[in-house]
Structure formats: structure tokens, C-alpha cells
């Protein structure tokens, strides 16, 4: 069992957990992820390792609640435990001193890009960070990213904070002010990673994206995370999760990720129904004892 050492809400439906997982903490490198199971009825879900503390034997994960398993996770409290934490999985991000790099995080992808941004900064790069969120309340890790960035830019869709617009508008603005950059890392919704890749392709800027297909075993055996990159079949869990954005077939990834949407919706509705009925029974018992 893997103890939850602490839990903190970062934004509406985005929660940070510090989990005791000494082996994973010792081996973690930027770009790795874990596959966890909340309990023995739970699905296996992949989450990026945002940070690790080998001395304390802990790792940090940040999860957005979008379906049944992430909801179940969000209901866990410090002191409780998770059934399984497998990892570190995936290839570490190749970290070099490229010169000037732009790290772009969209939504909860900001948590996923943070360890990479930090490693790139430590390798001597000039770091420009662009964070995109729907609205001000969903901007996460601002303090942490400002601390390591040479330039930090926020965009919100509704203009409630920073620049109104998309991360590609901010990247365009930066390039107009300073000319070329030497590399771009973009992590977030597929549509955002595709837009960034489409923007940088004609400019010839090397662009890496971290793909988020459905994953099951995380070891290259089940084929669930199949993606097409440069017309070749790859398994994101063992060949990625980072790939060159200009080579990725984003349309196929979007279609494959939508495959189980009806089942996922049903599963969340069933779970919400069970929780509501459980709460009703608890209230009825309390009333009977009162
Ligand atoms: C390498 C990797 C790293 C990730 N890191 C993070 C992270 O740091 N923080 C975060 O909030 N999310 C992260 N995700 C996405 C996260 O795994 C999904 O949000 C989660 O699995 C949803 O599960 P659910 O049961 O709550 O939702 P469901 O209702 O089951 O699914 C909602 C959507 O989540 C995605 N999803 C569902 N099951 C899986 C699965 N087994 N594998 C991958 N995607 C799935 C699908 O797009 C699906 O449509 C990552 C995904 C990958 C592949
Ligand atoms: S998750 Fe099974 S092959 Fe990648």
C-alpha cells in the first residue's frame, strides 16, 4: 500500500498528492509517469510524476478530476493509502542545453511540463514558460514556474488573467519580440499540442509533445496506447510518452481516445449514483440514531 502523505487542492478539480513510494522516488527522472490503482475495484490510470524526494521516499502527482477513477482519487485523504503505484514508467525526457526553450503547459498539462521545465533550466537553457488555462482559477503552479523561468507568460481563454487568447498567440508574440527559439515542449489537451505543432512546423522549430493515449499495463504488452508517429506505430508507454510533435497523427489519437467515451460516462454516472445512495443511507442511519 502507498500512503498519501499530504493532499492539497490547487484549483477547482485539480488536486496535488504527495505519496510515499520510495522505489519510484529513487528512480524518477523528468518525463516519467506512474500507473496507479486507487483500490482493488479501480482502473489503472497513468499520471505524471511532478516531483520526487528520494530522501523522504515520496513522489508528487497532480490529478484533474474528470472521470470515475480520478474522482475516486480526489476523495482520498492524507493518511489513507493507494493500492498500487507502478513506476517510474516511460522514457525520461532527453535534457540538453539547446539555448532558448519554450515550455508550454495547457490546463493540468502545466503540472506535466513543470518537471521538464525545471530540468531544462538546470541544464543551462534560457527558459520561457507559457501557461494556458480557461480562466484565472485554473492557473496552477504559477509561483513554482515563475521561480525557474526567465520569462513567464499566462494566457486565459476568457482574459480573466494574463493575456486573453491561446498559448499559440503568446508563442507568436514572443517570437515577434525576440526572433527564433531553439525548442518547444508542449503538454496539454491534444488539440493544444496539435495547434502548437502546426504553428512551429513551418518555422522549423523542434517541438516535443507528451502524448496521453489510453494506457493499461504501461509496459508495451497490451497495445492500448498505440499511436502513429512519422507513419510508424509506436507505443506511448515504452516509446514515449514524448514524441516529435510534427510527426504525430493527432487525428488518430483523438479518435482512439474517444473510443470509450460512452462507457466512461456510464461508469461515472453509476459511481455518482452509488455515492448518492450511500450518502442517503448514512443520513437515514444518523437520523434513526438521533
Ligand atoms: C503518460 C500520461 C500521463 C498523464 N499525466 C496526467 C497528470 O499528471 N495529471 C492528470 O490529471 N492526468 C494525466 N493523464 C491523464 C489521466 O491518465 C486521465 O485523465 C485518467 O486516466 C482519467 O481516468 P478517469 O477514470 O478519471 O476518467 P474516464 O472517465 O475513465 O476517462 C476520461 C478521459 O481520460 C482519458 N483516460 C481514461 N482512462 C485512461 C487511461 N487508462 N489512460 C490514459 N488516459 C485515460 C481518456 O481521454 C478519457 O476519455 C496522463 C495520461 C498519460 C497517458
Ligand atoms: S499501455 Fe499497454 S502497450 Fe502501452
Supply the range of the domain harboring residue 76.
2-89
> Using a 6 Å cutoff on CB, does residue 222 contact ligand 1?
no
Residue 223 counted as domain residue: yes
Residue 205 maps to a domain: yes
**pLDDT value for 259:** 73
Is residue 189 domain-shared with residue 96, that is, in the same domain? Answer: yes
Kindly report, residue by residue over 78-116, the tens digit of the pLDDT: 999 999 999 999 999 999 999 999 999 999 999 999 999
What is d(CA 145, CA 167) in angstroms, rounded to the nearest whole number? 16
Instruction: Provide the pLDDT for residue 93.
Output: 94
Residue ranges with strand state E in the chain:
2-11, 14-20, 33-37, 45-48, 51-53, 58-64, 81-82, 84-89, 100-106, 126-133, 151-156, 163-164, 183-187, 207-210, 226-229, 232-235, 242-244
Distance 90 CA to ligand 2 centre (A): 10
Q: The CATH number of the domain where 61 resides is what?
A: 2.40.30.10
**286 vs 259: which has the higher pLDDT:** 259
Residue 43 lies in a domain: yes
| Domain total of the chain | 3
Residues whose CB falls within 8 Å of the CB of residue 58, separated by 6 or more in sequence, listed in order: 5, 18, 19, 20, 21, 25, 52
The protein residue whose alpha carbon is closest to atom 48 in ligand 1 is: 257
Same domain, 236 and 182: no
Q: Given the C-alpha cell 510515499, which residue does it identify?
A: 20
Asked whether residue 163 is assigned to any structural domain, the reply reads yes
Q: Is the CB of 215 under 6 A from ligand 2?
A: yes
Give the confidence band of 16 by pLDDT, cuts at 50, 70, 90.
very high
Among the candidates 70, 89, 108, a domain finishes at 89
In-domain check, residue 277: no
Same domain, 12 and 23: yes
Q: What is the pLDDT of residue 119?
A: 96
Q: What burial class does residue 226 get, using C-beta atoms within 10 Å of its C-beta: 0-12 exposed, 13-18 middle, 19+ buried?
A: middle
Question: Does one domain contain both 100 and 201?
Answer: yes
CATH number of 241's domain? 2.10.240
Q: Which atom of ligand 1 is nearest to the CA of 73?
A: 26
Q: Per the domain annotation, does 268 fall within a domain?
A: no
**CB 70 less than 6 A from any atom of ligand 1:** yes
> Residues 156, 161, 167, CA angle at the centre, nearest 5°?
30
Binned at pLDDT 50, 70 and 90, residue 186 comes out as very high
Condensed to tens digits (0 to 9), the pLDDT of residues 119-173 reads 999 999 999 999 999 999 999 999 999 999 999 999 999 999 999 999 999 999 9
Instruction: Please check whether residues 84 and 95 belong to one and the same domain.
Output: no
**CATH number, residue 121:** 3.40.50.80
Same structural domain for residues 11 and 83? yes
163 lines ligand 1 (CB under 6 A): no
- Are 227 and 199 in a shared domain? no
Residues 207-255 have pLDDT tens digits of 999 999 999 999 999 999 999 999 999 999 999 999 999 999 999 999 9
- 10, 18, 38, 67, best to mutate for ligand 1 pocket (most atoms within 8 Å of CB): 67
Rounded distance from Cα 148 to ligand 2 centre (Å): 33
Mutational pocket test of ligand 2: of 237, 257, 260, the residue with most ligand atoms within 8 Å of the beta carbon:
237
- Judgement on whether residues 173 and 233 belong to the same structural domain of the protein: no
> Do 204 and 103 belong together in one domain?
yes
Least confident of 12-16, 71-75, 140-144, 263-267: 263-267
- Looking at all shown ligands, the one closest to residue 237's CA atom is 2
Of all atoms in ligand 1, which is nearest to the CA of residue 210? 1
Whether residue 85 is found in the same domain as residue 97:
no
Q: Could you tell me if 8 and 68 lie in one domain?
A: yes
80 shares a domain with 8: yes
Q: What whole-number distance in Å separates Cα of residue 190 and Cα of residue 196? A: 10
Amino acid at each position: 500500500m502507498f500512503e498519501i502523505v499530504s493532499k492539497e487542492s490547487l484549483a477547482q478539480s485539480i488536486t496535488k498528492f504527495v505519496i510515499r513510494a520510495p522505489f519510484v522516488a529513487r528512480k524518477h527522472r523528468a518525463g516519467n509517469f506512474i500507473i496507479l490503482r486507487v483500490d482493488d475495484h479501480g482502473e489503472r490510470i497513468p499520471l505524471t510524476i511532478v516531483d520526487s524526494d528520494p530522501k523522504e521516499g515520496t513522489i508528487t502527482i497532480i490529478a484533474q478530476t474528470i472521470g470515475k477513477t480520478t474522482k475516486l482519487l480526489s476523495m482520498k485523504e492524507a493518511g489513507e493509502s493507494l493500492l498500487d503505484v507502478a513506476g517510474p514508467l516511460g522514457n525520461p525526457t532527453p535534457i540538453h542545453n539547446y539555448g532558448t526553450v519554450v515550455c508550454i503547459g495547457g490546463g493540468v498539462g502545466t503540472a506535466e511540463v513543470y518537471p521538464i521545465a525545471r530540468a531544462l533550466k538546470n541544464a543551462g537553457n534560457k527558459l520561457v514558460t507559457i501557461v494556458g488555462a480557461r480562466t484565472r482559477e485554473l492557473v496552477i503552479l504559477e509561483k513554482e514556474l515563475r521561480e525557474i523561468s526567465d520569462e513567464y507568460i499566462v494566457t486565459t481563454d476568457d482574459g480573466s488573467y494574463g493575456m486573453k487568447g491561446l498559448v499559440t498567440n503568446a508563442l507568436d508574440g514572443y517570437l515577434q519580440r525576440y526572433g527564433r527559439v531553439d525548442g518547444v515542449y508542449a503538454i496539454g489537451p491534444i488539440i493544444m499540442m496539435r495547434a502548437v505543432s502546426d504553428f512551429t512546423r513551418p518555422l522549423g522549430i523542434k517541438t516535443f509533445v507528451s502524448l496521453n493515449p489510453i494506457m493499461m499495463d504501461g509496459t508495451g504488452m497490451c497495445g492500448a496506447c498505440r499511436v502513429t508517429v512519422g507513419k510508424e506505430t509506436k507505443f506511448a508507454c515504452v516509446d514515449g510518452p514524448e514524441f516529435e510533435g510534427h510527426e504525430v497523427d493527432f487525428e488518430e489519437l483523438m479518435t482512439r481516445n474517444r473510443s470509450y467515451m460512452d462507457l466512461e460516462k456510464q461508469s461515472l454516472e453509476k459511481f455518482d449514483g452509488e455515492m448518492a445512495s450511500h450518502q442517503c443511507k448514512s443520513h437515514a442511519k444518523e437520523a434513526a440514531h438521533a
